[in-house]
Amino acid sequence: MAPFCDGGQLPFNLVVVDNQPNGKPLMYSAHAPPGGVLIGAMTKLAKATDSHFTFKATPSVDYGAFLVSVNGLSGNDQDRTYWELLVKGANKALITADVGISCYIPQANETVILNYTKW
């Protein structure tokens, strides 16, 4: 049985990796209801007064929300940079999510990584 936080929420870690020269990974404790999507957990985290986590996303009717920036750092077509969604599950294997933040369903105790990278 999956462990729950208060209110029946599944706990997971959200890690922001900005890959900038002075950047360092930032880890946040997040939670989502069973079956809840990542963008909801990110929205709740951003609204928490002590989280220091921010993000911006643009809607797409065809593909759901597209993650534009995290903690003030935006992807840039000219620099060929974007925010990649990676997941490290219980088996510790790192995978690229096959859906975006509006469709990904976090699992208990996994690590969701927002990775600033180039294409």
Q: Provide the residue range defining the domain that includes 51.
A: 36-84+91-108
Q: What's the pLDDT tens digit per position in 108-118?
A: 999 999 999 99
Quote the pLDDT of residue 1: 44
User: What pTM, to 2 d.p., does this model score?
Assistant: 0.90
Is 48 part of any domain? Answer: yes
Could you tell me the CATH number of the domain that includes residue 51? Answer: 2.170.130.30
Is 29 part of any domain? Answer: no
CA dist., res. 69 & res. 107, Å (int) = 23
Count: domains in the chain:
1
Quote the pLDDT of residue 91: 85
Q: What's the pLDDT tens digit per position in 19-65?
A: 888 889 999 999 999 999 999 999 999 999 788 999 999 999 999 99
Cβ neighbour number for residue 114 with a 10 Å cutoff: 24
